[in-house]
Each structure stands twice: as C-alpha cells, then as structure tokens.
Amino acid sequence: MNPELAIECHQLTRKFADVTAVNGLDLHIPKQTIYGFLGPNGSGKSTAIRMLCGLLLPTSGEVNVLGHQVPQQAEQLKKHIGYMTQAFSLYSDLTVKENLRFMAQVYGLSGKTQNRRIDEALSVYHLQGLQNRFPSNMSGGERQRLALATATLHDPKLLFLDEPTSAVDPQSRRDFWESLFDLVAEGVTILVSTHYMDEAERCHDLAILDHGVKVADGSPSDLMASMEAWVVQVEDSDVLKLKPHLASLPDVISVSHIGLHLRILVNKSIAQPVAYIQQQTGFLDTDVQVREVAPSMEDVFVVATQKRKQEHDR
C-alpha cells in the first residue's frame, strides 16, 4: 500500500439480499485530508464507512486502512480510528464526563493520560460547563461536540464521521467544520459523509455516491470545472410556465426553480447554450435575461446522478 494513503480500497461491494448497497467502490484517500462522501439517503455512504472500519463484511473487494487489511486485521485498526455514528450513540444516562471517562478507559488510556485528554477534550470542544449534564438534556450541537470529543480522545490517526451534522444548527455546523480543519492540521485524516452541498464543498476531495456507485470523484473545484454541462440562468417573473417545456428537452439535464429564476443544466454537446435556451423559450429578442453562470456543487451532484440514471435506463 502507498504510505501516503490512509484508505485504499478496490472494487468494494456489499449486497444485502437483493440490494447492492455498495457496488465496486474504488478509493484512494491521501493522509491528512478531509474526504467526503456526498449522496442522498440510501446511496451506500454508511455501508461503505462501516465496511472500511470492519463493522460490516464486504461481499467482495479489498480494503486497506492505515496499513491494516480489513476485515482481517480490523481489531488492530480499532486503536487508531475514531468513529462518529449517524445517530448519537453515547450513553444518555451517563454524564458528559462519565461518557468521556468510560471511552478513555475502553481505549485503554493510562490513568494520567486519561485525565489529561479528558481535560483537553472538555476545553477544545467547550464542554467544561456541561461536564455533569446528561446528553438527553443537551442540544444537537452540544451532543455532536461530545461525540467528536469522545471520538478523538485516543488521538486517532483517522476519523470516520457518518453524517455528523444532520441534527445540528448552521452555526454549530460551521464550528464543527472548523474543528475538523484543526484536526487535519494536527495530522488526522477524516472521512465524512454528508448530504449537504456546502459541506461537500469544504472537503479536499470527495466522491459522489448514487445507489451504491461512485458516479464522480475529485476535488470540489475540479468537479465543478470538469462538469459535463452548462449552467444557464433565466430571470423572468413568469418562469413557472417555461419549466415543463424546458424539462422535456433532450439536451436539458435538469431545470430547477430558485427564487425568481430558473437554473437550467444544459448538455455540454450544445455549443451555444445561452442561444439554445433563448430559442427554446422565445426570449431571443426580449429583455428577459438569459445568461451562463458558474456551476455549483449541487449542479455537479445533479449532473453526476442524472448521468448514472440515464445510463441505467439505457
């Protein structure tokens, strides 16, 4: 395995009865980066993460995490990874401090190290005031800070975060991501799954998953630059009427209604996308603004998942 990589997997596949949750996944995740899994619910993000930690057995494929073969050497790996489950999974009937103490002991930290690391965690994640509170009475953001604090108690080299911000307000999400970048600066590698576009955009690299298949991967800027579609925006007070017609065109990938304008994804094969849309809408000689805009992460996501759908339908 390449020593620069934290995670490497080849043709990783997992089937549940007649559903293929993860299908032929290849990953090369460099150390000290934040790697994102972007995908809707049921796209195989959690299943993939669980296979990478050894919680689920792959149906086929090879996994190497931090130099350990998984699942064969999963137990040796456990000491070096931290894990945040999708739902809060610490004990609601133990206080914040007791949860930290328990996890520190379970990770086998010595008495002195335990105290030091728990104190550090309390201060880094602003939990001092909550030490004796029970998670059942804490906000989503507070619980998430506690979960990250416990996941990093033993100084793991690699963190798996499964939709860590799904129950958290926007400000807490921002703070959370700041913490992640601090961890990366300390040398930690992070694999995070999300269905938020703004979070995906913050990752160094990401993979877009759709029905268990990786439909695109790369850095957010590369993905946006190499997107196989134009983004055309139409600003008109009466855009609603245009939507059905535009959506039915073969070279229009998707039409979405955003505020007072329509955002249209047009196939790259069309040479003049603005003119094409003007023709189709009859806005050629009117003062209705039709212009090309820069792609967003959401556009990348839509194009990638639509492409797979078309190939699948064919």
Partner 1 sequence: MMSLRRLFAVMRKEVWQLKRDRLTVGMILGIPIMQVLLFGYAINTDIRHIPAAVVDYANTQLSHNLVTDMEASQVVRIYARVGEEKELEDRLRTGEVSIGIVIPEDFERRIQDDSRAAAQLLVDGSDPIVLGAAQQLTAMQQHQSSQKSASSGKLFEVRNYYNPERRSAVNTLPGLIGVILTMTMVIFTAISLVRERERGNLELLINTPITSNELMIGKILPYILIGFIQVSLVLFLGFMIFDVPIQGLVVDVYIITLVFVSANLSLGILFSTLAKSQFQALQMAIFVMLPSILLSGFMFPFNAMPTLAQWIAEILPMTHFVRLIRGVMLRGAGLGELLPELLVLMAFTFITLVLAIKRFHKRLD
| Of 136 and 269, CB closest to partner 1 | 136
165 vs 281, which CB is nearer to partner 1? 165
Q: State the Cα–Cα distance between residues 276 and 152, nearest whole angstrom.
A: 53
The least distance separating partner 1 from the CB of residue 11, rounded to whole angstroms, comes to: 19
Q: Please, what is the minimum distance in Å from the beta carbon of residue 20 to partner 1? A: 15
Residue with tokens 């029905």: 211
The site map against partner 1 for 77-116 (x = CB under 8 A) is: -xx-x-x-x-xxxxxxxx---x--xxx-xxxx--------
Dist CA 307 CA 267 (whole Å):
11
Determine if 52 is a binding residue for partner 1 (CB under 8 A).
no
C-beta of residue 147 within 8 angstroms of C-beta of residue 127: no
Taking the complex as a whole, the smallest distance from the CB of residue 78 to partner 1 amounts, in Å, to 5
| Amino acid making up residue 216 | A
Three-state DSSP state, 231: strand
Beta bridge partners of residue 65, listed in sequence order: 7, 68
Q: Name the minimum Å distance from CB 59 to partner 1.
A: 10
Least distance in angstroms from the C-beta of 180 to partner 1: 19
CB of 51 or CB of 290, closer to partner 1: 51
105 vs 269, beta carbon nearer partner 1: 105
User: CB of residue 130 vs partner 1: minimum separation in angstroms?
Assistant: 17
Decide if residue 56 touches partner 1 (CB under 8 A). yes
| 48: nearest Cα among 67, 84, 73, 22 | 22
Q: Are 91 and 135 in contact (CB under 8 A)?
A: yes
Residues with Cβ within 8 Å of 216's Cβ and at least 6 positions away in sequence, in order, are 207, 208, 223, 300, 304
Contacts of 264 (CB under 8 A, 6+ apart): 231, 232, 233, 234, 246, 252, 254, 255, 277
Interface with partner 1 by CB under 8 A: which range of 60-68, 72-80, 264-272, 287-295?
A: 72-80
For partner 1, the closer CB: 47 or 278 = 47
State whether residue 6 is helix, strand or coil: strand
In a 3-state reduction of DSSP, which class is residue 304? Answer: helix
- Applying CB under 8 A, the span of 48-56, 187-195, 207-215, 231-239 interacting with partner 1 comes to 48-56
200 is an interface residue for partner 1 by CB under 8 A = no
The residue among 105 and 286 lying less far from partner 1, judged by its C-beta, is: 105
Is the Cα dihedral 223, 225, 229, 235 positive or negative? Answer: positive
C-beta of 160: minimal distance to partner 1 in Å? 8
Instruction: Provide the 3-class DSSP secondary structure of residue 299.
Output: helix
In the complex with partner 1, the residue whose CB is nearer, 87 or 271, is 87
CB of 79 to partner 1, least distance (A): 5
Positions 278 through 297 that interact with partner 1 (CB under 8 A): none
Q: What is the largest CA-CA distance in the chain?
A: 77
- Binding site residues, partner 1, CB under 8 A: 50, 53-57, 71, 74-75, 78-79, 81, 83, 85, 87-94, 98, 101-103, 105-108
